Chain A
Amino acid sequence: MFNQTFSADTQFRKASAEYNFGFLDEYAKKEVRRSVLKAIAIPGYQVPYSSREMPMGRGFGTGGLQLTLSLIGKKDTLKVIDQGSDDSVNAVNLRSFIEMTCPGIDTTTKVSEATLIQSRHRIPERELREDQILVLQVPYPDALVVVEPSEDKRKIMHGEADYSRLLVKLYEDIVKFNEITISHRYPTRINGHYVIDPSPIPRWDVPKLNNSKSLILLGAGREKKIYAVPPYTLAEPLEFDDIPFRVESFNDSTGKRRTCWRCGCDHSFLDEFIDAQTGDKRYQCSDSDYCDEQIKSQVNNQELEG
C-alpha cells in the first residue's frame, strides 16, 4: 500500500480498495448488531459497546456512523443530514466517507427515497415509514448526567427507573425561571421506564419519537453506547401537570406564526438568520428537503390550476 501513487486530487478519498465494505471489520459489525438487538429489546436502555475509532473525530457522528456502517447493504439508499440539511459540511463529509467505503449503495437527499437516514440534531419533518430506519448521532447519551456524574450510580438509577433527582432539577428550573429551560436534548421517557437523552434534537422533534412508524436508533461513539426507540412505542417528554412540555414557538410578537421566506411553510422548524443586505431577520425551514418539497408541490399545483 505504500507504493501507490495518487494524483493530488484523489488521494484523500480513494481508500476503499484497502478497507472492508463498510470500513469496519465483520467482527466489529457483529458487535454493533448484537447491541442493536439488545437496544430494541430494552427500549431506551443504553447498551454499552466497544465503539471502534473511526477516521473522523469523536463527536462528529462516529456513533451514528458505526450504526450506519453495520446496517448498510448494497440495496440501501442512504440520506445523511446535519442541522436538517444534506449539504452541510459534516453531512457531506460523512456521506462521502460512506460512499467511499460502501461501493454500490445509493445516496439521496429525498427522505421519501431513503431506506436509511443518518441525522444529527434533526428528525425529518415528513413522517417516516415503517420500511425506513433513522439513525441519530448522539454526543451525550445519558439524561441523568446533569444530576449524577458517576456512571456506575446512573446505571442503578436507570435500572430502578428512579428519575426523582432529574424531576427535582426540572422543578428547580421552574422555581427559578418560571419555565423549563431545557431547550434541546429534552429528557424523554421510553415505554414508561428508561429516560433517554434523545440527542440534541430540538423539542420540536421530540413528539416524532412517540409511536413512530420507523425504528429509531441512537449511537454515541465517544461514550460507547447504543440505544433505541422501537416503532410504535410510547415516548413521553418529562413534564409537570401545571407546566407542560412545549415545543419551540415560532410566533411573532403579535402571536402570528412565522413562515419560511422560501416556501411559505407555516408548520416546520425554522432557522433564524439575519439578511446580510437588509439587516432584517429571516426565517427558513431547517429541513431543506422538506422546504424543496413544499416549493415543488406549489409549482405543481400552479401548473394544475394554470
Chain B
Amino acid sequence: MGYVAIKGGGQAISGAEKLLEFIRTRQGETGEPLDIETIENQLYFLHSRIMSEGGLFHPKLASLAIKQSMGDTLEASFALRAYRSTKPRLIESPILDTSNMRVTRRISASFKDIPGGQMLGASTDYALRLMRTELLDESPDAFKSIAGKWLDENRYDEIPDTFPKVLDALRDEGLLPPVNEAISEQKPFDITREPLVFPVPRSAALSTMARSETGSILALAYSNMRGYGDIHPTVAELRVGYLPVMLPHPITGELIEAGEVLMTECEVVAMYEDEENGDKPSFSLGYGACFGHNEVKAISMSILDRALQSGMKNGPTNPSEDPEFVLLHIDGIDSMGFCTHYKMPHYVTFQSDMDRLRTTQEKHTNKHEEASQKGADNV
C-alpha cells in the first residue's frame, strides 16, 4: 500500500514553491510577518473583496488567504473558495430581512430626505485622491491613538441601529410593484449545489453575481451604463452594515441569531416598462448585495440584475442583458484558472496543429503547381 511514483517534475514544483516563499519573506530581518488582524483592519476593502469573491464569510481565513497569496485578489479568493467547497452544507437560513441590518452607512440618490435620514458613514466618495505622504513613515504611537480619540469624540449611540428602507416608502406611494409573495416563498437556487442550466431563475443569477469578481462585474455593468443597454438606474438606497444571521435551532427549530455578517446592499430603481397584463405601470427594480464593504460591486450587480431581468423577459438586446454571457464570464476563479492554464504544455495539440497546417500547405502548393502547369500547357 502507498507506493508512490516519484519523478523529476516534482523537484521543479517544490523549487517554485520555495522561491515563492522566499519572495514573501525576502524583507529579511527588517520585516515583520503580516498579522492576521492587521490584514482584516488595515486592508479592510481588500479583505471585504476576498470574502465576497470567495463566497465565504470567514474573516480570519480571508486574512490568511490574503497573506499567503501575497495580496493577489484572484488567488486569495480562490483559496477561500476552495476551502469552502470542502465543507458540507449543514443548515439553511431563512431569507434574511435586511431592514434589520445594523447600518454603518446608507445613502439614497433618489431623495434628499429619506425616512431616517442620509448617513454618509465611512466613504471614499468625496475623498481627495492626493498622496498622503505623511503615512510613508507613520509613527506607531500616533497610529495607535487615532481610533481611541475618534471613539471618545463620537457618541455613536445617538444614531439608531436600524433604518427603514427607502423602497418601502416608494412602495407605499404605489411607485413600485407590490412585493411578489409567491416569489419570496420559492426556495432560492443554490449555485454551490446545482449547476447553472439556462434559463436559470433570478435567484441563481443573484447568487452568481454576489460572488463574482469585482472588476469583471463592473466591466459588464459599465457597458450597460455607457450605452450597450438602457437601464438608467437611480440608487434608491445603498447600505453597508452588519446583518444578523438567523438559523433554526437544531432541536427546537426556533430561529436564533447565530452571528452577523458585514454586507453591502444596493437597490436601484429604473424606468418603468409597459405592463402586458394591464397592471398599473410602475418603476422596476434591480438588486445587488455582497459580503463585506464593496459598493462598486453591489451597484454593478444591481444594474446587471435589472438588465438580466429585461433580457430574461424580452430576450437580450445587448451583452449585459444576456444571462449566459453575464453569468458565465464574471466568476474570477473560473476565468483566472482558465487564463492561467494556457501556460501549461500543449505539445500534443500543437503537434496535431502542425500536422494539419503542413497537410493544408502541401495541398495548397500542389494546387498552385497544378494551376501553373495548366497555365503553361495553355500557352
| A residues neighboring B (CB under 8 Å) | 2, 8-9, 12, 19-20, 23-28, 31, 48-60, 62, 74, 77, 79, 82-84, 86-93, 95-96, 99, 103-109, 121-122, 139, 149-152, 155, 177-179, 181-185, 200-204, 222, 224-225, 248-249, 269-272, 286
Question: Among the listed A27, A103, A179, A203, which residue makes an inter-chain contact with B89, where contact means beta carbons less than 8 Å apart?
Answer: A27
Instruction: Enumerate B255-301 residues with CB–CB distance to A below 8 Å.
Output: none
Are A178 and B352 in touch, CB under 8 angstroms? Answer: no
Are B18 and A8 in touch, CB under 8 angstroms? Answer: yes
The 8 A CB mask of B8-22 against A (1 = contact, 0 = none) is 111011000110010
**Which residues of the other chain, A, contact B197 by a CB distance below 8 angstroms?**
48, 151, 155
Known contacts A57-B336, A152-B324, A202-B349: A86-B86 contact under CB 8 Å: no
Are B347 and A151 in touch, CB under 8 angstroms? Answer: no
**Which residues of the other chain, B, contact A222 by a CB distance below 8 angstroms?**
334, 337-338
A92 to B7, CA, bound (A): 8
Q: Who on chain B is nearest to A225 by CB?
A: B195
Are B10 and A104 in touch, CB under 8 angstroms? Answer: no
Known contacts A91-B9, A179-B363: A202-B348 contact under CB 8 Å: yes
**Residue B172 is within 8 A (CB to CB) of chain A in the complex:** no
Most chain B CB inside 10 Å of its own CB: which residue of A92, A151, A155, A182: A92
Are A224 and B195 in touch, CB under 8 angstroms? Answer: yes
**Which residues of the other chain, B, contact A79 by a CB distance below 8 angstroms?**
5
Q: How far is the CB of A266 from chain B (nearest CB, A)?
A: 17
Are A177 and B363 in touch, CB under 8 angstroms? Answer: yes
The 8 A CB mask of B340-364 against A (1 = contact, 0 = none) is 1110111111011111100110011
Are A74 and B192 in touch, CB under 8 angstroms? Answer: no
Are A57 and B3 in touch, CB under 8 angstroms? Answer: no
Most chain A CB inside 10 Å of its own CB: which residue of B7, B81, B198: B7
Interface size on B, residues (CB 8 A): 63
Number of A-B contacts (CB under 8 A): 192
**Residue B191 is within 8 A (CB to CB) of chain A in the complex:** yes
Question: Among the listed B13, B78, B79, B355, which residue makes an inter-chain contact with A89, where contact means beta carbons less than 8 Å apart?
Answer: B13
Are B348 and A200 in touch, CB under 8 angstroms? Answer: yes
**Which residues of the other chain, A, contact B10 by a CB distance below 8 angstroms?**
92, 96
Are A108 and B353 in touch, CB under 8 angstroms? Answer: no
Instruction: Enumerate B58-92 residues with CB–CB distance to A below 8 Å.
Output: 60, 64, 78-79, 81-82, 84-89
**Which residues of the other chain, A, contact B351 by a CB distance below 8 angstroms?**
202, 248, 269-272, 286
Q: How far is the CB of B325 from chain A (nearest CB, A)?
A: 8
A27 to B363, CA, bound (A): 54
Question: Among the listed A151, A201, A202, A272, which residue makes an inter-chain contact with B324, where contact means beta carbons less than 8 Å apart?
Answer: A151
**Residue B1 is within 8 A (CB to CB) of chain A in the complex:** yes
Are A269 and B348 in touch, CB under 8 angstroms? Answer: yes
Are B81 and A179 in touch, CB under 8 angstroms? Answer: no
Most chain A CB inside 10 Å of its own CB: which residue of B17, B342, B344, B367: B344
Are A121 and B337 in touch, CB under 8 angstroms? Answer: no
The 4 closest A-B pairs by CB, nearest first: A58-B337, A59-B341, A57-B337, A48-B195
Between A and B, 20 residue pairs with Cβ closer than 8 Å are A24-B86, A25-B87, A25-B88, A50-B193, A52-B86, A54-B85, A55-B78, A57-B336, A58-B338, A86-B7, A92-B7, A103-B2, A107-B5, A121-B346, A183-B352, A184-B353, A200-B346, A200-B349, A202-B351, A204-B352
Q: How far is the CB of A248 from chain B (nearest CB, A)?
A: 4
Are A106 and B1 in touch, CB under 8 angstroms? Answer: yes
Are B355 and A152 in touch, CB under 8 angstroms? Answer: no
A181 to B356, CA, bound (A): 6
Are B349 and A53 in touch, CB under 8 angstroms? Answer: no
**Which residues of the other chain, A, contact B3 by a CB distance below 8 angstroms?**
77, 106-108
A152 to B315, CA, bound (A): 13
**Which residues of the other chain, A, contact B1 by a CB distance below 8 angstroms?**
74, 104, 106
Question: Among the listed A90, A99, A151, A224, which residue makes an inter-chain contact with B4, where contact means beta carbons less than 8 Å apart?
Answer: A99
Q: How far is the CB of B276 from chain A (nearest CB, A)?
A: 23
Are A95 and B5 in touch, CB under 8 angstroms? Answer: yes
**Which residues of the other chain, B, contact A58 by a CB distance below 8 angstroms?**
333-338, 341
A83 to B352, CA, bound (A): 12
